[in-house]
Structure formats: structure tokens, C-alpha cells
């Protein structure tokens, strides 16, 4: 299997919109770094559900990012990030 290219679309820096930039900053970042920064925030404020670790509970900032939902699955993060970057 060939190695992934360093310039793949996945690693290309993207610019967060206003909502996402409150959590990760407003500088362009690869999606992988955005996910890492979100997880740092989630763990810092203990927002992972106690019973089901796959679920993330929203606080005020994450509530805006999650479009008002109180809880989302960690598997939804990629979709949420895609909706909150500038095209």
C-alpha cells in the first residue's frame, strides 16, 4: 500500500468559522489538529459522558458548535467540523 501524500486534502489546513474558532483558535489548521484540540477541551472540562464514553456532553461553547444539541457521538465530530469551516 503506498504511503499517504503529505499534501493530501485531509491534511490541508482549513479555516475555522467563528463558532469553531472559539474552541480551537482562528488560524488555519489541518482537520486532525482541530480534532485534537477539541478533545483537549472535552477532557479538560470533563465533558465525556460517564456511562457511555462515546458521547460528548455539550457545555455553552460546545452547544453552539453542536447546533443546540445537548449531546453528540464522538463519531459525529468530523461532520460537525466540516460544517464549521470556511469554504
pLDDT 10s digits, 24-69? 999 999 999 999 999 999 999 999 999 999 999 999 999 999 999 9
> What pLDDT score was predicted for residue 9?
74
From residue 61, how far is each of 38, 42, 51 by CA, in Å?
11, 11, 22
Cβ atoms of 2 and 19 within 8 Å: the answer is no
* CATH architecture, domain 14-86: Orthogonal Bundle (1.10)
- Domain residues of the chain, as ranges? 14-86
Query: What is the predicted pLDDT for the residue at 36?
Result: 96
Tell me, what's the pLDDT at 4?
A: 54
For residue 21, what pLDDT band results from cuts at 50, 70 and 90? very high
Given this model, what pLDDT does residue 87 score?
Answer: 75
CA–CA dist 6, 18 (Å, integer): 28
**Cα–Cα distance, 1 to 9 (Å, whole number):** 18
Amino acid at each position: 500500500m503506498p504511503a499517504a501524500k503529505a499534501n493530501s486534502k485531509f491534511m490541508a489546513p482549513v479555516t475555522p468559522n467563528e463558532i469553531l474558532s472559539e474552541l480551537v483558535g482562528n488560524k488555519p489548521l489541518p482537520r486532525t489538529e482541530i480534532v485534537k484540540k477539541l478533545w483537549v477541551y472535552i477532557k479538560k472540562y470533563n465533558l465525556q459522558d460517564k456511562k457511555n464514553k462515546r458521547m460528548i456532553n455539550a457545555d455553552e461553547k460546545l452547544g453552539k458548535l453542536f447546533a443546540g444539541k445537548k449531546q453528540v457521538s464522538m463519531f459525529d465530530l468530523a461532520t460537525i467540523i466540516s460544517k464549521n469551516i470556511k469554504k
